[in-house]
Amino acid sequence: MDKNILEDILQNNRKYIKLGEVATYIPQLAKANKEDLGLCIKDMNGDMYACGDYEKKFTIQSMSKVITFTSCLLDNSIEDVKKTVSFEPTSTAFNAIVDLEIKNRHRPLNPFINAGAIACISMLKENTYQEKFDRIINFIKLLSLNENIDYDEEVYESERKTGSRNRALAYYMQSTGIIDKDVDIEKLLEVYFKICSIKVNCIDLSNIALIYANNGVNPFTKERYFSKEVSKIVVATMALCGMYDESGEIAVTVGIPSKSGVSGGILSVLPSKMGIGIYGPALNDKGTSVAGLKILESVSEKFDLSIY
């Protein structure tokens, strides 16, 4: 892999920024610099290839669902997880409620839509809501090899204030028994919103992704953070459900299991090979970085990375 080629790819795809818009549902996201564009790739040898705004911080948003799902699988048997959330793709939007009602015995279709992630947090074994949050942020510090990970208080407050849809999803799941009736929905959502507000950059994402590419083992220290089985479940679910109702399209054009977030980040796992982090806050209409996606497509094509 050649840093100059990556630099070319980044610049060649910069033109797509103008096809997207920065998220505006909360003011803190609207303040993002639409022109930002960053890329970081890390391979098994520890070589890192980065360009653009790869050190810029942004909130992890839905990419956190990868870590939440992993944690949920560590605390519960697969059979128990499946009783609460299935692993099937959805052809509706990330915040749709319709599937909760008419399909799948009320289970969220997968852990990468909002309802699924909220249900996963409710299944974490910690006793208090604070402990649930601490556990996730500490896990992110571990996987990103970055002790300085923190969350953005303003984004959190803003998400919390405007989160009616997520409240609807959570209360709906409580009404059908997917979330236990004793759960304090407001406190559960505080954890969810706080997790979404954790700040990362492209290096952090590439480090996290690399652990999944290596089946749960830190390739440098050889430390195992989770089992190969858990890793494969998470990566397969990313491949099928990571990009919402655009997952099929992206499997065809990119072929690298990925999870995007509304802040403009993309976390991509190339099994046995590399971890990729991308940032570009201008989003397409599905809520994914528009230029980021084009960069990922170009990288996949240039280096023949599709797993299919």
Residues recognised as catalytic: 62, 65, 192, 244, 262
Nearer to its own copies among residue 56 and residue 224 (C-beta): 224
Smallest gap from residue 214 Cβ to its own copies (A): 13
Tell whether residue 262 is among the known ligand binding residues: yes
Instruction: Output the smallest distance, CB 86 to its own copies, in A.
Output: 7
Min dist CB 163 to its own copies, Å, is 8
Nearer of residues 189 and 200 to its own copies, judged by Cβ? 189
User: Which residues sit at the interface with its own copies, rule CB under 8 A?
Assistant: 86-92, 96-104, 109-110, 162, 164-165, 167-172, 174-175, 181, 185, 232-233, 235-237, 239-241, 245-249, 251-252, 255, 257, 271, 306-308
Chain centre to alpha carbon of residue 300: 19
**Cβ 284 vs Cβ 266: under 8 Å:** no
114 marked ligand binding residue: yes
State which residue, 38 or 89, has the beta carbon closest to its own copies: 89
Q: What is the 3-state secondary structure (H, E, C) of the chain?
A: CCHHHHHHHHHHHHHHHHHCEECCCCHHHHCCCCCCCEEEEEECCCCEEEEECCCCCEECHHHHHHHHHHHHHHHCCHHHHHHHCCCCCCCCCCCCCHHHHHCHHHCCCCCCCHHHHHHHHHHCCCCCHHHHHHHHHHHHHHHCCCCCCCECHHHHHHHHHCCHHHHHHHHHHHHHCCCCCCCCHHHHHHHHHHHHCEEECHHHHHHHHHHHHCCCECCCCCCECCCHHHHHHHHHHHHHHCCHHHHHHHHHHCCCCEEECCCCEEEEEECCCEEEEEECCEECCCCCEHHHHHHHHHHHHHCCCCCC
Q: 23 and 287 in contact (C-beta within 8 Å)?
A: yes
- Rank residues 174 and 218 by Cβ distance to its own copies and give the closer one: 174
62 is in an annotated binding site: yes
Task: List the one residue out of 217, 226, 71 whose CA is nearest residue 136.
Answer: 71
- The least CB distance from residue 13 to its own copies, in Å, is 19
CB of 32 to its own copies, least distance (A): 22
Question: For residues 148 and 164, which CB has a smaller minimum distance to its own copies in the complex?
Answer: 164
Q: Is 192 annotated as a binding residue?
A: yes
Closer residue to its own copies, CB minimum distance, 43 or 99: 99
Tell which residue, 294, 248, 296, has the closest CA to residue 275: 296
What is the closest distance, in whole angstroms, from the C-beta atom of residue 181 to its own copies in the complex? 7
Positions at the binding site: 62, 114, 159, 166, 192, 244, 262
- Please give the annotated binding residues for substrate, written as ranges: 62, 114, 159, 166, 192, 244, 262
